[in-house]
């Protein structure tokens, strides 16, 4: 009678479970896109694969590291005359290790939607910084507190992101002007400055517990960072 380490058996069972979960997710997305949203067969297969892959990635992260709290929900619609629309809701616990898996999954969805072609790197930088601020400064790494991300992509239009935490918030107007000579050595607020320099619009709502960002699909490259519409 052969003996196998228990860990090996568990990993094998997890792989089987994740494979079956992926197939099930892809089947659901294919049927939704093909028969309810009016997509063609090829597009239903293609979009179904990357939507299922993104949800499967969150499932992997959940089973390996994230206390079972991470969650991602997607909706993909094709409206006649107005193009394709991708909507994503995601939640992570306030742990630094939860940031990268979520960013990777979201960026895969964003890239697949082709809503902000050529600007993906800027969006990823802003998203990663917003999540880091929410996890570290907002929720102070208290794992039981969640960070909520809402993403809306419109093909040919751009992307909007909302990142919310369950912390105490802050006064966005109190952040120093890092462009001033006297503040060149100040570290506080540099993450916000990065978000403003990479996105077209950045504002803070709900007492500083929510940051809203927008990136439009510009016809011409932007010359420099745009001003904040509601924050400092």
Residues 6+ apart with CB under 8 A from 138: 94, 147, 165, 166, 167, 169, 209
DSSP, res 137? I
Q: What pLDDT score was predicted for residue 230? A: 45
Q: Delineate the domains of the chain, giving CATH numbers in brackets.
A: 1-64 (no CATH), 68-226 (3.30.565.10)
CA nearest 90: which of 108, 77, 112?
A: 108
pLDDT tens digits for 126-157? Answer: 999 999 999 999 999 998 899 999 999 988 78
Per-residue pLDDT, averaged over 201-216, amounts to 95
Q: How confident is the model at residue 30 (pLDDT cuts 50, 70, 90)?
A: confident
Q: What pLDDT score was predicted for residue 100? A: 93
Q: What pLDDT score was predicted for residue 115? A: 87
User: Is pTM beyond 0.75 here?
Assistant: no
pLDDT at 57 over 70: no
């Amino acid at each position: 009678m052969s003996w196998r380490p228990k860990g090996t058996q568990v990993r094998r069972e997890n792989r089987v479970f994740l494979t079956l979960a992926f197939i099930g997710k892809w089947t659901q997305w294919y049927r939704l896109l093909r028969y309810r949203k009016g997509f063609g067969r090829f597009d239903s297969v293609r979009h179904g694969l990357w939507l299922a892959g993104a949800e499967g990635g969150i499932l992997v992260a959940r089973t390996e590291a994230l206390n079972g709290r991470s969650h991602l929900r997607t909706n993909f619609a094709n409206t006649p005359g107005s193009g394709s629309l991708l909507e994503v809701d995601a939640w992570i616990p306030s742990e630094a290790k939860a940031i990268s898996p979520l960013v990777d999954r979201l960026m895969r969805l964003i890239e697949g939607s082709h809503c902000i072609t050529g600007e993906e790197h800027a969006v990823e930088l802003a998203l990663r910084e917003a999540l880091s601020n929410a996890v570290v400064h907002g929720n102070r790494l208290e794992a039981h507190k969640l960070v909520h991300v809402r993403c809306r992509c419109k093909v040919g239009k751009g992307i909007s992101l909302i990142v919310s935490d369950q912390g105490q918030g802050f006064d966005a107007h109190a952040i120093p002007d890092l462009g001033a000579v006297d503040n060149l050595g100040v570290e506080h607020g540099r993450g916000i400055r990065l978000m403003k320099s990479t996105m077209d619009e950045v504002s803070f709502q709900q007492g500083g517990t929510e940051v809203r960002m927008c990136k439009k699909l510009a016809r011409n490259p932007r010359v420099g960072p745009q001003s904040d519409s509601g924050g400092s």
